[in-house]
Structure 1
């Protein structure tokens, strides 16, 4: 997939020597995530990666691998949720049952697993789930499809936009500390910030 960016050639990582050690370590780990799953099965990880690819419209393996690893780490963590609406399953159950629901929905509509569908079919399945217009009623009996969709969309986008490749795409310069900003007037940028392409 060709990427269109207003900041061609910009790479936020080129400025990492100006970050503190802790930040370098965190952002650096996002560039090369460890591929091992504590929560997802291999099949669930592949399914989730396929869903994320559709949700964020990004096919770069570096980004997708990080997003899935981040989600897996979050789901495997013993740290609970800060808040959850009454009647909504805990996050781990929501993901587990929701992912099973995605495949069930795919089978109900197209007779095959979600990961082998064409992109347009994958989009149609997710659209139906997001609107609560599901056909696989049994698969969604314990989990609300709209709630599941909102959760995975938010989690996927949050993780995606914390990857340095995506930062570069949108011209985000990463952490400004410890150096800080010098040119704070409207329209001015510091030398290390991304410059938008004129074309």
Structure 2
């Protein structure tokens, strides 16, 4: 098994989180390495839902089929098939399993009404426009509270994406702190095994411009 990809993220040159695996205990290594390699088979989504979910996640996370670094659809599918949720849901929504089925169907219905095809078959620009309309529109969207269905989609997408070592490489995260731990806490303080961001000016800023 190789411990990292040959593609070195430009923002953190030479950094590969899996190089830190020797510092983790066996249980931690097992959990992290289970997320790399061949994605799990799809068990929860049917083929139509899988296509819609993949297009949805690609737009939310700015991934593309030819350069997708994290298999988000397979990871979300495995989580739903395994009955792993956040442990709660909005009281005006069905449980997460049913909400995923119905919201992906609604996303295809939306695309058929506006573009005459499924959401996955729309161009990337149109997918972005459809999602922007869902997020920013008025009133409920096809029986869903807009902010709450958006929350469901983005929670699952971000949880999957940022649990994967490829995403950790992209943001310079050195992985689990157990059992070694981190000692240099604070802004702009790094451990010896961490790499400085070569483009800090691209860090997201809050509403105050900081």
Match of 1:175 in 2: 176
**Structure 1 150/182 Cα, relative in aligned 2: closer, same or farther at 3 Å?**
closer
Deviations 1:40-83 (A, max 9, x none): 112212221111010011234340x2x22221122123456622
Q: Which runs of 5+ in 1 are unaligned?
A: none
Q: Which runs of 5+ in 2 are unaligned?
A: 1-6, 201-210
The counterpart of 1:110, out of the listed 82, 101, 115, is 115
Please give the secondary structure, in 2, of the residue aligned with 1:156.
helix
TM value normalised by structure 2: 0.80
Q: Quick check: 17-26 or 179-188, which moved more?
A: 179-188
Task: Return the alpha-carbon distance in structure 2 between the equivalents of residues 78 and 169 of structure 1.
Answer: 29
Does residue 51 (structure 1) correspond to residue 52 (structure 2)? The answer is no
Two-structure CA RMSD over aligned residues (Å): 2.7
Aligned length: 192
Match of 2:18 in 1: 13
Task: Return the alpha-carbon distance in structure 2 between the equivalents of residues 68 and 82 of structure 1.
Answer: 20
Task: Return the alpha-carbon distance in structure 2 between the equivalents of residues 75 and 198 of structure 1.
Answer: 37
Match of 2:76 in 1: 71
Task: Return the alpha-carbon distance in structure 2 between the equivalents of residues 72 and 148 of structure 1.
Answer: 17
The counterpart of 2:68, out of the listed 54, 61, 71, is 61
Higher helix proportion, which one?
1
Does structure 2 conserve the Cα–Cα contact (< 8 Å) formed by 1:38 and 1:73? yes
Does structure 2 conserve the Cα–Cα contact (< 8 Å) formed by 1:32 and 1:62? no
**Structure 1 28/94 Cα, relative in aligned 2: closer, same or farther at 3 Å?**
same
Match of 2:151 in 1: 150
Does structure 1 conserve the Cα–Cα contact (< 8 Å) formed by 2:39 and 2:75? no
Task: Return the alpha-carbon distance in structure 1 between the equivalents of residues 37 and 119 of structure 2.
Answer: 27
Does residue 39 (structure 1) correspond to residue 44 (structure 2)? The answer is yes
Deviations 1:125-183 (A, max 9, x none): 1112223459xx7xx24x44442222111110121111111111111100122222344
Deviations 1:93-128 (A, max 9, x none): 110010001111011111111112111100011112
